[in-house]
A and B are shown apart, each in its own frame.
Chain A
Amino acid sequence: MKLELREVTKRFGDFTANDSIDLVVRPGTVHCLLGENGAGKSTLMNVIYGLYQPTEGQIFVDDQPVKFNGPSDAMAAGIGMVHQHFMLVPVFTVAENIALGSEKTSGGVLNLEETRVKIREISDRYGFHVDPDAVVEDLPVGVQQRVEIIKALVRDAEVLILDEPTAVLTPAETDQLLGIMDQLRKDGKSLLFISHKLREVRQISDDITVIRRGRVVGSADPSASTNELASLMVGKAVQLTVDKDEPRLNSNAFEVENLSLVASNGVHLLKNVSFTVNGGEILAVAGVQGNGQTELAESIIGLHPKATGSMRLNGEELLGRSTKQVLHSGVGFVPEDRSKDGLVGSFSIAENLILDLFDTKSFASGGSLKRAAISANADRAGSEFDIRMGSQEDAASTLSGGNQQKIVVARELSRDLKLFVASQPTRGVDVGSIEFIHKRIVAERDKGVPVLIVSTELDEIYALADRIAVFFHGELMGIASKDTPRSVLGQMMAGASYEEAVANQHEDPEVLLAKQDAAEGVVSEQHAQSIIESSSAQTATDQASTSYRGSVAAAQDLPWADNTDASKGEKA
């Protein structure tokens, strides 16, 4: 099915989120919509899916003009959507989630049998290994995403919109997803793939349309280099790598020993974590969201009083201290969710810049704040960190994500630090600000401060790390050097030790997928076993399966090689 947008414009009041967008998704292809956060991609998707009505312009399905008053209209027209934040009810079973909205009943009683049959059918056809009766919240993220895809396919979607589908996946799960997308494309479905991750975009797309500030700024060929795509996306030449010299280590050190934290249900959030960050180096913590990295950062800053073990900064014990004491001993902390933990949105920019310093001599005397000093501080930080603001009295929440993040970083770096901890320092931040924030982090390292970065973006890990620590289920799987291949890190992020990951590099992906599903209880052991046994024979003849394999193999050729090539080029 062909999906076409002609001059689609969407305005919210004075703000134009999409400005006369033209787009054609051809049947049997993957069309990528590439753009930065806030470029208007998600708005456009919601317009196509009927969640918003376009202010101007029109949508055509197979050259027929269509008008969607709601998602049900879009679904009826054969458009399905896999949302970035899954639209799944966590406490429902897979079948209930999929039946929702188009439930079959017999005599008034809900009848899910037909849905179960359809789920099994689709699941078998694409090798999803999804049990219709599993409760969604118990499933790993990658499987939940497959449930979202099944949800669209059950509704006979011919056009599938995938909104930033890889944001929540491990590198391995990402490759699985790209394989699935390839299979769907082979089946004649049209896929609209939204992403800002250049590596994946180049790997899977047939056509690429780049949008910036709500406008189409051009299209690109998948063979274009990452730097070209990035420049198109941002609108100026960008440097994706960070220039940094070899680390000059000093004797300052942050030593973590046997740090453990147990949740109230007995699950280990952190389990005997031990590592050392030396002064003058960046230790980057990689891992899929929710594997203990958040708790690690929060434990350092004193937010988990039940953590056990030891954390010493230059020999001084931090564990057991209050957050305020930890901050006063020279720890700078950028929390992963700036709007929740990093800023008070309704406070002014100037106030946010002194949130943890308001009671120091510089900004307060007696019981009152020194307004002049606070204002001068905001001016200084504003110019030093390039915070684009109207007035320093504006509420912090009125700024863009990038500028909000700069406030947090500016505040934390305005003190003399002995340790700098940053969680997701550039999440939801535009490329220009990413570059700036990365430079500041490297500058802090070059001052000789031990720096700990937590990031789920491997690109960021590679850009900043001197060494890479990988977390899985609260355990440190190992510390790898900064030039460890993506595939090895990916396996460590999925629970392999460094040695296993290196040794494991040549295993069959389908077999591993089946093993993994069996371990998760998604399918029975026997089922998994049969897949494992039939895998080698089947793949020789199975067209879809071999091409899936091919695309995964292709993925291996591309990875972070881009980064190193670019940096080599720069050095040369």
Chain B
Amino acid sequence: MSVALDTSRTEETAVVRRWKNPIIYAVLAALSFFLIGLNAPDKTVVFRLSDGLKNFSIPDLSLNAGVYGWISVVAMVAIAAFAFITMNKGREIPRGLQGLFWFFFITGMLVWVIGAARSSELSLVTLLTGALTLSIPMIFGSFGGLLCERSGIVNIAIEAQLLLGAFTAALAASMTGSPWVGLLAAMIGGVLVSLILAVFAIKYLVDQTIVGVVVNVLVAGLTGFLYSRVLQADPAHLNSAPKLPTFEIPVLSQIPVIGPVLFNQSVLVYIMYITVALIWFALNKTRWGLRTRAVGEHPKAADTLGINVNRLRFTNVLLAGVVAGMGGAFFTLVSVSSFNANMTAGQGYIALAALIFGRWKPFGALFASLLFGFTLQLNFVLSLLGTSVPTELLAMLPYLVTIFAVAGLVGVSRGPAASGKPYIKG
């Protein structure tokens, strides 16, 4: 008989040592040693925790920059050394320890820069609230990207969706006096961009990256033109949008620190919570989600089961326009109340980076966007505090973080297999 035991998967593997992480830790620990250890300012850094609380207050968090600096350095050096030892045995260091390393690195650096600034007192609530607020366009943008990419379309045009969304929101809200009409217009703006992307990428099979880039340039030019020729002609009526309301959720907003940060926000933030939850749920638990993922991974398999691949992709790209368009509304209905040429300043691209850094997963993209938002906010806060670090360098911070995040830390991450590949029947 020729039927035999075949392809049993119980094979031993060789020890593979990847020195990338231990080396990164060692370099960062050494850097920390010189900066936040040896060069620690002898000052006490005060984090105010009770902002936004009405009925009670909690004490401030005071840290001596020197002491906390050395604690961080010792912890980082220990973890880096441990990383070398375990890797030498062929094992990865536990994820918890990796998280701990980054915690000490980020907080240590934070304490150090604030300690080095002229004023060493800051409100943690303000810092985090700002970080969340600044992440909004990136969160919406990366979710717009997610909807496209998971169904197999590369969305470089997030930037254009944000920008046109911001423009239409400002125009519509100014003309009608209603921010809600503005929000609706933002969605329509995003969908218009999506429509161009979808028609060219899906129907005419033009390279998706090229369409995306061209659309970005087109929308930047178009909104710039309309801004200077139309909006500027009558800014009082065409470019002074009412803001979306901000409201506080009772009880929840009184949780120390996170309450005021999460639950005393613009209505757009609450819409964002709902959008994130909804997309996560729909993608993982519904028929639409299963089909979307199938179409993004193996469109032909989906086609042979009677799923209309290109129609589903088309729908998803349009949906992505709705979501990313809402992100655009942030700029003109939440942040400031008027449109300005190129006011999105490349945040659509950062949103794309957040999507990749988040490994094409809803919560991954959410946290990556929050991280980028945090670095943006840090930049603002530090310049307010009067830090000795040059502001130009600080302005680079979000982008440096982006590059390292996407290139160095993700490692080999696997996107949807069919992303960027047009589906041609047959």
Contact = CB atoms under 8 A, between A and B. Distances in A.
B11 A267 contact: yes
Interface string B285-312: 1110111011001101111111100000
Nearest to B281: A109
Given A72-B306, A266-B15, A495 B290 contact: no
Interface in A49-108: 49, 51-52, 70-72, 75, 81, 83, 86-92, 96-97, 99-103, 105, 108
A108 B304 CA distance: 24
B7 A89 contact: no
B300 A473 contact: no
Given A83-B304, A288-B7, A552-B1, A265 B16 contact: yes
A284 to B, nearest CB: 19
A402 B290 CA distance: 41
A90 to B, nearest CB: 7
B14 A268 contact: yes
Nearest to A97: B301
Interface in B1-16: 1-16
Nearest to B15: A266
Interface size class, chain B: 35 or more
A347 B43 CA distance: 70
A172 interface: yes
B426 interface: yes
Contacts of A493: 6
- Residue of B2, B293, B294 with most chain A CB atoms under a 10 A cut-off: B2
A516 B293 contact: no
Contacts of A46: 426
Interface in B303-349: 303-307
B307 A89 contact: no
Contacts of A70: 306
Nearest to A264: B16
A265 B13 contact: yes
Interface stretch (A233-241, A417-425, A507-515): A507-515
A101 B6 contact: no
B306 A494 contact: no
Contacts of A433: none
A342 interface: no
A496 B307 contact: no
Give chain A's interface residue range (CB within 8 Å of chain B).
35 or more
Nearest to B282: A108
A178 to B, nearest CB: 11
A486 interface: yes
A100 B2 contact: no
Contacts of A101: 291, 302, 305-307
Chain B: interface secondary structure?
loop
A510 B15 CA distance: 36
B425 interface: yes
Nearest to A86: B301
B417 interface: yes
A110 B15 CA distance: 41
Contacts of A412: none
Contact of A487 (B2, B289, B305, B306): B2
Nearest to A266: B13
B4 A100 contact: no
Contacts of B290: 92, 96, 99-100, 103, 110
Contacts of B5: 494-496, 512, 515-516, 519
B286 A87 contact: no
A561 B6 CA distance: 24
Interface in A196-222: none
Contact of A519 (B1, B8, B300): B8
A490 interface: yes
B16 A519 contact: no
A443 interface: no
Given A87-B301, A101-B305, A170 B6 contact: yes
Nearest to A138: B9
A169 B410 CA distance: 36
Contacts of B1: 487, 505-509, 512, 552-553, 556
A142 interface: yes
Given A87-B298, A90-B297, A490 B4 contact: yes
Contacts of B291: 100-101, 103
Nearest to A179: B3
A133 to B, nearest CB: 15
A267 B8 contact: no
A259 interface: no
Interface string A523-538: 0000000000000000
B8 A495 contact: yes
Given A49-B304, A75-B306, A266-B14, A521 B9 contact: yes
Contacts of B300: 87
A51 B14 contact: no
A190 interface: no
A173 interface: yes
B11 A172 contact: no
A204 to B, nearest CB: 15
A355 to B, nearest CB: 27
Contact of A262 (B16, B303, B425): B16
A95 to B, nearest CB: 11
A486 B3 CA distance: 11
A131 interface: no
A52 B425 CA distance: 9
Given A87-B300, A519-B10, A491 B2 contact: yes
Contacts of A473: 7, 11
A317 interface: no
A520 B425 contact: no
Contacts of A507: 1, 3-4
Nearest to A173: B6
A282 B307 CA distance: 49
Contacts of A49: 304
Interface in B239-291: 285-287, 289-291
A504 interface: yes
Interface string B18-31: 00000000000000
Given A96-B290, A512-B4, A110 B285 contact: yes
B13 A100 contact: no
A35 interface: no
A81 B249 CA distance: 56
A457 interface: no
Interface string B188-203: 0000000000000000
A102 B285 contact: no
- Which of A86, A100, A142 is most buried by chain B, counting CB atoms within 10 A of its CB? A100
A256 to B, nearest CB: 19
A491 B7 CA distance: 10
A386 B121 CA distance: 84
Contacts of B297: 89-92
B97 to A, nearest CB: 21
A281 interface: no
A96 B305 CA distance: 12
A163 to B, nearest CB: 11
Given A99-B290, A109-B286, A288-B7, A267 B13 contact: yes
A268 B289 CA distance: 37
A171 interface: yes
26 contacts: A49-B304, A87-B305, A89-B302, A90-B417, A96-B290, A100-B291, A100-B294, A102-B306, A103-B291, A108-B286, A142-B7, A170-B6, A172-B2, A172-B4, A175-B3, A266-B13, A266-B14, A288-B7, A491-B4, A495-B4, A507-B3, A516-B4, A516-B5, A516-B8, A519-B10, A520-B9
Interface of A: 46, 49, 51-52, 70-72, 75, 81, 83, 86-92, 96-97, 99-103, 105, 108-110, 138, 140-142, 170-173, 175-176, 262, 264-268, 288, 473, 486-487, 490-491, 493-496, 501, 504-510, 512-513, 515-516, 519-521, 552-553, 555-556
Which 8 A-B residue pairings sit nearest by Cβ, starting from the closest? A72-B306, A101-B305, A509-B3, A494-B6, A487-B2, A266-B13, A87-B301, A519-B8
